[in-house]
């Protein structure tokens, strides 16, 4: 993974004067050049715009692996395809990983990665088990993350275990205290597991009926959960509820 990211940065530097872009500079790297590089011919990945919270580039291999058209794939779209039983853990573990990364800013997160495996649905409705490895790709002059890279590996045929595993990998991970590593799989308890699944799907833009269908629950049950969450958090509507969940770190 480290050599992979270093190779991408080398290629970007061919076309962009600096790989560390100033935060006020609107120039964006031309990630499309990566499609023509043979070293990436068997790899599946996307590049994420950290500030805009959206996928900036996705390569054809990942589109082909999942069976979706490039134009229909977005960050929210991919999250909506994660298995309902895995979605909560993927979101909460990713949020916790970001907090740990922020806490350990002395670690080079271009060379150290957050890894997690989960099930994601392809275009024909089959769930693939994938390993997602994420690292920082490009930073600004203040060492703030501008772009992150997530590489996917299909591990469907190498494991029959549906359990999610998440961990950090890299040369500097030993710097992270054991107590902080244990926080990686911990989730807050303000909302129940079912409520968090509903919040995640609401944030993805699903209607209440779509959420009910996704979770195999009645729309009455979904409405009851939402009303209970609004009452408990003293929020006026579902929009305020989502904003609160984002602010408090339950969603990403």
pLDDT of residue 232: 82
The two structure tokens encoding residue 206: 């699903």
Has residue 112 got a pLDDT over 80? yes
> Based on the number of CB atoms within 10 Å of its own CB, is 102 exposed (0-12), middle (13-18) or buried (19 or more)?
exposed
What pLDDT does residue 120 have? 96
Q: Count CA atoms closer than 13 A to 250's CA, side-chain side.
A: 21
* Tokens found for residue 93: 């573990």
The closest of 225, 236, 220 to 202, measured between CA atoms, is: 225
Domain 2-185: homologous superfamily in CATH? PAS domain (3.30.450.20)
Lowest-confidence pick of 37-51, 122-136, 167-181 = 37-51
Single out the residue of 9, 148, 121 nearest to residue 66, CA to CA. 121
CA–CA gap between residue 208 and residue 72 (Å, rounded) = 22
Query: What separation in angstroms does the CA of 91 have from each of 85, 123, 152, 181, 241?
Result: 12, 22, 16, 16, 17
Instruction: Classify domain 193-247 at the CATH topology level.
Output: Arc Repressor Mutant, subunit A (1.10.10)
Q: Is the pLDDT reported for residue 137 higher than 50?
A: yes
Q: Tell me: pLDDT of 23 over 50.
A: no
Q: Residue ranges per domain, the chain?
A: 2-185, 193-247
pLDDT in tens, 206-228: 999 999 999 999 999 999 999 99
Beta carbons within 8 Å of 103's beta carbon, 6+ residues apart: 180
Q: What is the mean pLDDT of residues 159-174?
A: 86
Nearest-angstrom CA–CA distance, 91 and 251? 7
């Amino acid at each position: 993974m480290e050599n992979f990211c270093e190779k991408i940065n080398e290629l970007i530097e061919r076309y962009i004067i600096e790989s560390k872009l100033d935060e006020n500079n609107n120039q964006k790297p031309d990630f499309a050049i990566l499609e023509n590089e043979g070293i990436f011919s068997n790899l599946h990945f996307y590049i994420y715009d950290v500030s805009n919270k959206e996928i900036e580039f996705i390569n054809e291999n990942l589109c082909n692996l999942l069976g979706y058209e490039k134009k229909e794939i977005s960050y929210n779209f991919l999250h909506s395809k994660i298995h309902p039983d895995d979605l909560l853990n993927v979101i909460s573990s990713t949020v916790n990983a970001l907090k740990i990364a922020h806490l350990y800013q002395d670690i080079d997160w271009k060379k150290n990665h957050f890894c997690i495996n989960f099930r994601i649905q392809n275009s024909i409705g089959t769930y693939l088990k994938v390993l997602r490895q994420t690292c920082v790709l490009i930073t600004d002059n203040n060492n703030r993350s501008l772009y992150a890279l997530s590489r996917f590996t299909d591990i469907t045929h190498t494991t029959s275990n549906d359990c999610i595993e998440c961990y950090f990998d890299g040369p500097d991970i030993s710097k992270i205290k054991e107590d902080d590593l244990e926080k990686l799989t911990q989730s807050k308890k303000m909302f129940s597991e079912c409520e968090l699944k509903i919040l995640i799907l609401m944030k993805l833009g699903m209607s209440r009926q779509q959420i009910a269908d996704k979770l195999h629950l009645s729309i009455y049950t979904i409405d009851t959960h939402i009303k209970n969450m609004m009452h408990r958090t003293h929020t006026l509507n579902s929009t305020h509820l989502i904003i609160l969940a984002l602010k408090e770190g339950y969603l990403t």
